[in-house]
Chain A
Amino acid sequence: MSADHAVASHDAHVTSTGLSNVKLGMWLFLGSECLLFGGLISTYMLYRGRVGTGPTPMQVFDIPFTSVSSFVLLMSSLTMVLGVSAAHKGDDRNTYLWVAVTALLGATFVGGQVYEFTAFYNEGMGFTTSLFTSSFYVLTGFHGVHVTVGIIMLMSTLGIMKRSKVPGSKSETIEMLGLYWHFVDIVWIIIFTLIYLIPV
């Protein structure tokens, strides 16, 4: 605890904006990610009606299923907040707990996505079936990769914390993971609305 605080105070160099470098850098990176998903979403919106001889979106989508997995992902944002809050209080036990739950919920979402993709594939919706399917898989796939990377980072951080090797401020590291995690969730809200809820 006290060691952690000592490290934190050492890192708190006075910056010109008052934000720490890590936090500013993270926000900039997320700003850049907006354009990445912007490009992918635009591609999907352009191609979602171009189904060729393949299935149309409304034929394959299982909206109740995806709604549930979306709900799971949104709940993981809540647990992430609890994890960050515990980290700020220096409450290691609850930090572990909530970060692990967040990773678990995230993994549930990714598991759901894998199940969904498999089901779609079995219904004749391959990656190259039509422009719609290609752009669907690329967009949701990129999002899934982001969630997966998030899970790996959460679990790795827990492992490193366990061996008390987190360089720098522990609570700030968790907070940065939180920023990334919330961003990925918000992107999913947009993707879910555009892909699943708006009829073609």
Chain B
Amino acid sequence: MTIIERPSTEVAIAGAVPVGVKPSEALGVFKRPAASSSWRDWVVTVDHKKLGIMYGVAAFVFFLIGGVEALLIRLQLIAPDGKVLNADQYNQMFTMHATTMVFLFVMPMAAGLANYFIPLQIGARDVAFPRINAFSFWALLFGGIFINLSWFLGGAADGGWFMYAPNSGPVFSPSHGIDFWALGLQITGISSLAGAVNLITTVLNMRAPGMKLMRMPVFTWLQLVVQFLLLFAVPVITVALFLLSFQRNFGATFFDVAAGADPLLWQHLFWIFGHPEVYILILPSFGIISEVLPVFARKPLFGYPFVVFSGAAIGFVGWGVWAHHMFASGLGPVSVAVFSIATMAIAVPTGVKIVNWTLTLWGGKLVYTAAMKFAIGLIVLFTIGGLSGVTHSVAPSDTQQTDTYYIVAHFHYVLFGGAIFGLFSGFYYWWPKVFGKLLNERLGSWNFWFMVIGMNMTFGPMHILGLQGQPRRMYQWTEARAGEGFFNLGFWNLIASIGSLVLTFGILLFLINVVITTRKGQVAPLDPWNARSLEWMTSNPPKEHNFDSIPTVHHLDEFFHRKYQEDANGVMQQVKTAEEVLKELEDNADAHIHMPSPSYWPIVLALGMPVLAFGVIYSIPVAIFGAVVILFGAYGWAIEPSTAPDDDIDPPTESGTSMGVAHVS
């Protein structure tokens, strides 16, 4: 019987001796929220698992919004002289499609998985800063909503997701769209930054005993690399966005060529952020399939240190390749040569990973679950996208391809075929862990095949379109200039548009699968996949405190080694079931587990930011009000203890009874 305790006002009042800081005194304004099972619990929660789910739900909603935007783009291009959108709407559509998918789907979805699984994988009970974690989520959500509000307030941003000058200036984009975009991304940037500090501290500081760095699961490792990339990349885009906002709202001329400015400044700042961003998007998925492949190949990951160190190498070299996005801007031969070579070099650690995954599969007893199919899909599709990416490192060739559909094809292969396939692999793999039910494998298989076929039909033809010279952001094409025979633009645009419908159907199948599973899905066994890492050494879904007793780690793949041991002939034999392993932990449960308390302040603080941003665009008094809310939230936060002193939690033992708020057996 473990007693889970959290400080509450009642306990503090009941406690006989007032020592140290009482929550009742430190609250400031609000009574501290107590644990409950209502919706309020989700608003004030600081539980990394709940926040992980909230990240996931929010990100998926944004995924659907971004998907609708993509469909509108493809409908516009399905036939010559498209009439679905006008030129202005088309500009908004592709800008917001990219912004939504990059900043509001892939990043938060990866952040959600990181939130949920990093503490579980390293044997921790929560993240290092639970309230900051809640704040990160709310900032992301409010930032995302704020950006999308611009649709209803005069039009969304329309300068392309990299928002080059002069298109980003007030002359070419007079609506408030780009203001919303710049300020909204500041808010989501704060979310990412806070998340990065939090998760790095968690990984470095909160590992279970014996969990050395080189025993950490690859997902945690690559997320650590991602968080470092965020930590150093986000401030650069912050500077760029500030300069842009000052230009649009306060009359500065940072990117105005007529005033003598250098438009390349924006490009450099953007891509110094933007290229690490590419790895921020893909590495979490690399981490996911590095978990999935060994489990379903029934073999350890081939060359674990190589996967880890090549991930770190990508993290370093990723800082030295940004200008390959700018080969067409006239950087000069020396810069172009340096960045060409660096770009070729970064293909090496990526290739190392692909070799490792392939050799993990080699000779394994492969189990073709949906998670495994998506993981293998990633290897194949990402390799295609990676190869077309390497062609961009050849500057003369890149200069031909710049701003054509060839680029669009390339980055959709790496981001859809790579990042998103990895995320779907993770959905199928971890669904039973998070929700306690197995997603339907049959539907999962259909889901996979529709997505693979749809994705190749959509993005494959874009290689041809691009090499034929179809510009990336052309809103209409005409029959007269479509070309003939195999290279007819009309035919391949039609195929791509049909493909996008197939793809949409595939994603709908996933949603249907989720609904069916939630209604009447099969309850998952404790260890449905015969998994290897620590997150499976808990119940499904995990208890609020994750582990009854913190496990001591002796191996890479600790859970596997608790279940299996070598016999005399050196063959792995099962010695324990997952249930027995879990029972051991439960039998040695810690007597008192102190969990962090829920708090109102994260959401209060996060709410102030969009109000402030709204005020910057429309009215200074509103901005001041937002700033006051932020300040109020910051003070409330500062005087609220993050971990309550012992005497707030454990009532004096003389009283004889424990008065903790929640009792979990």
A, B from the same assembly: yes
Q: Are A32 and B197 in contact, CB atoms less than 8 angstroms apart?
A: yes
Stretch among B98-106, B451-459, B634-642 lining the A interface: B634-642
Are A7 and B645 in contact, with the CB atoms below 8 A?
yes
Q: Which of B606-665 contact A (CB under 8 A)?
A: 635, 638-643, 645-646
Q: Which residues of B contact A16 (CB under 8 A)?
A: 204-207, 211
Given A10-B645, A127-B252, A128-B252 in contact, is the A25-B128 Cβ separation under 8 Å? Answer: yes
In the complex, which residues of chain B have a beta carbon less than 8 angstroms from the beta carbon of A156? 635, 638
B376 in contact (CB, < 8 A): no
Contact among A21, A32, A36, A130 for B201, CB-based, below 8 A: A21
Q: Which of A61-69, A131-139, A178-186 contacts B (4 or more CB under 8 A)?
A: A131-139
Question: Is the pair A33, B235 in contact by a Cβ cutoff of 8 Å?
Answer: yes
Contact flags A3-27 to B (C-beta < 8 A → 1, else 0)? 1001100110001110101001100
A146: CB under 8 A from chain B? no
With A10-B646, A28-B200 as known contacts, state yes or no: A35 contacts B26, CB within 8 Å: no
Instruction: Establish whether residues B641 and A167, one from each chain, have CB atoms under 8 Å apart when the complex forms.
Output: yes
User: Could you tell me if A43 and B239 are in contact, using CB atoms closer than 8 angstroms?
Assistant: yes
- Of A45-53, A77-85, A86-94, A110-118, the stretch lying at the interface with chain B is A45-53
Report the bound CA distance from A136 to B344 in whole Å.
38
Let me know if A40 is at the binding interface, CB within 8 A: yes
User: How far does the alpha carbon of A125 sit from the alpha carbon of B508 in the complex, in Å?
Assistant: 59
Within the complex, the shortest CB–CB distance from B276 to chain A, in Å, comes to 11
| Count of residues in B whose CB is under 8 Å from the partner chain | 51
Confirm or deny: A124 has a beta carbon within 8 angstroms of a beta carbon on chain B: no
Are B243 and A25 closer than 8 Å at their CB atoms? no
Known interface pairs A16-B204, A168-B641. Does A138 touch B235 (Cβ–Cβ under 8 Å)?
no
Q: Are B198 and A25 in contact (CB under 8 A)?
A: yes
Q: Are A39 and B205 in contact, CB atoms less than 8 angstroms apart? A: no
- Whether B235 pairs with A43 at a CB distance below 8 angstroms is no
Interface majority SS (helix, strand, loop, mixed), chain A: helix
Choose among B201, B259, B269, B638 the residue that contacts A25 (Cβ–Cβ < 8 A): B201
The reply on A29 being an interface residue by CB < 8 A is: yes
- A39 to chain B: which residues have CB within 8 Å? 235-236, 238-240, 269, 272
**Which one, B196, B197, B246, B639, contacts A134 given CB within 8 A?**
B246
Q: How far is the CB of B266 from chain A (nearest CB, A)?
A: 10
Nearest residue (CB) in A for B23 is A167
Assuming A128-B252, A165-B26, is B260 touching A36 (CB within 8 A)?
A: no
| Bound: A10/B211 CA distance, A | 23
A25 to B136, CA, bound (A): 15
Whether B261 lies near A131 (C-beta < 8 A) is yes
The answer to the question of B234 belonging to the interface, with a C-beta cut-off of 8 Å to chain A, is: yes
| B265, CB-defined interface residue at 8 Å | yes
- Pick from A17, A28, A36, A164: contact of B238, CB under 8 Å: A36
Name B645's contact: one of A6, A36, A52, A165 (CB within 8 Å). A6
A25, B197: Cβ atoms closer than 8 Å:
yes
Compute how far the CA of A29 lies from the CA of B640 in the bound complex, rounded to whole angstroms.
Answer: 21
A168 touching B643 by the CB < 8 A rule?
yes
- Least distance between A166 CB and chain B CB atoms (Å): 8
B 202-242 binary contact with A (CB < 8 Å = 1; else 0)? 00111100010000000000000000000111111011101
A68-B206 Cα distance, complex, nearest whole Å: 45
Q: How far is the CB of A54 from chain B (nearest CB, A)?
A: 11
Nearest-Cβ distance from residue B274 to partner chain A, whole angstroms: 13
Give 9 CB contacts A-B under 8 Å. Answer: A15-B206, A25-B198, A28-B231, A31-B231, A31-B232, A128-B250, A138-B243, A165-B639, A168-B642
B residues with a Cβ closer than 8 A to A are: 19-21, 25-26, 128-129, 193, 196-198, 200-201, 204-207, 211, 231-236, 238-240, 242-243, 246, 250-254, 259-262, 265, 269, 272, 635, 638-643, 645-646
A-B contacts besides A24-B205, A46-B265, 15 pairs, CB < 8 Å: A7-B21, A16-B205, A21-B206, A25-B197, A31-B232, A39-B236, A43-B239, A43-B243, A47-B254, A47-B262, A127-B252, A128-B250, A128-B251, A138-B242, A160-B639
